Amino acid sequence: MALSALGWVLSDSTRAERLLALSGLTPDGLRGGLGDPALLGAVLTFVEAHEPDLIACADAIGASPEKLVAARHILSPEGNWE
């Protein structure tokens, strides 16, 4: 699910540039971290941070927004403050 969300983010150049700028990642760093749960969790955090993106991403990948949030909780449990 996180990889699908990343594909959705990268499908729009403005959104992709925003991810790289906010995360400090380079394209090579992003490619190198595709198997890293922390990086995938960060991608979902990025999507979750802007509700219109969360809803659009969920719709595009055929998941509910709640499932994306739940996936982020699994990938980044240390970031859960609820």
The string of pLDDT tens digits covering residues 14-25 is 999 999 999 999
DSSP state of 42: H
The string of pLDDT tens digits covering residues 24-52 is 999 999 999 999 999 999 999 999 999 99
Count of residues in the chain? 82
Distance, C-alpha 33 to centroid of its chain? 13
CA distance 3 to 37: 10
For the chain, domain boundaries? 2-77
- Cα distances from 77 to residues 15, 24, 25, 31, 38, in angstroms, run 25, 21, 21, 23, 9
Q: Compute the radius of gyration of the chain from its Cα atoms.
A: 12
